[in-house]
Structure 1
């Protein structure tokens, strides 16, 4: 309780600090020649003098709580921030833009420069990580791509036929499997790159969902797969 009272008193005192006119005329500022840190211009009390800011390194203890009117004398160095939970300096993690996000930024810049839609210029469709979504558009066509935007041959439909159901998941999984050099796994993809309703392994077939996983336990010989009611 005593600590809380002391903090409250300090906080009230900080809020009461007012810099009167011409206060800087009475200040005797110390030289910053011996500052072993960052010299902050007018960073001292009431902005009258320069201040010396100690640059903390990763892992150093720091504080996110500053009393109003009291100049800070230390801060986390370049590329670091003071974590409010651990009260330690941690690196600032910067997420690189994915290939789709980079392309989208380029397209938006072109559109801003021209101030009108450019013929044949399509905005890419990106996921939350900045990678390409499976379905992309080109003119009147919709086609499948990998996460980095590589076109997957054999999967293209009319743009108006896609709706919201074209994910190209089967086309992507098939492409990735073929790139691995493995053989033996069969993929039954629809023309739009989605998984078809029937999948087969070896000599048996079964119903599958949109992720390619088997639905239920029923199977049927591969020669009778048309008899499946999926």
Structure 2
């Protein structure tokens, strides 16, 4: 009975709240210190602006149902979406409320920055599907597969470092001898080494670029940095041709000799 009375009182207070211009005159407008975007008119009764919700903060679901009188949480910032806890965390949703998470498209793009071993580890860590012979990969500090992996049947085996392909002849019950299949950074080209170091580094600076390597591991002639400047590099060492660096466009690298460590300009005849 007491619960019923409380619910009726809750609705009564909600019904009594009416947003009017006079109400806005009583609302104090304080300066905002937002971590992201500002939502115009997103505050109480639309009287003030508000901060867009950031990752992990509570938000309003697009199809959410709110009881009268409950102030809205607000929308998520650009690049994020409001997701229901019942689908993301298997917990009970709260009256049309959700949590801001990175959009699925951004999460997909971000996952492409990980190595195959790191992607497999992330997928299998959250998967509910387990089969005979299943294994959770062990990745080294550079993100490659460790040479020895072991499955849930007690068998261990050797794998290729980049793709994680099973070397069938090495599979044994217990520890496997993978000394003949151990690879080091010395087996990688300079482009591949640079790429792997960039992937595990937490340091980001203006002008930083993550190299694109061709099918045999050499630097592709055109590279671009995080300021949207593109330039030409040598194929073996990745030495930047400073004169080729331009913004918002890709240079024509055919006018440079990119086969040497110190490139020279080819003067057209």
Same fold, TM-score > 0.5, yes or no = no
Structure 2-normalised TM-score? 0.27
Structure 1-normalised TM-score? 0.31
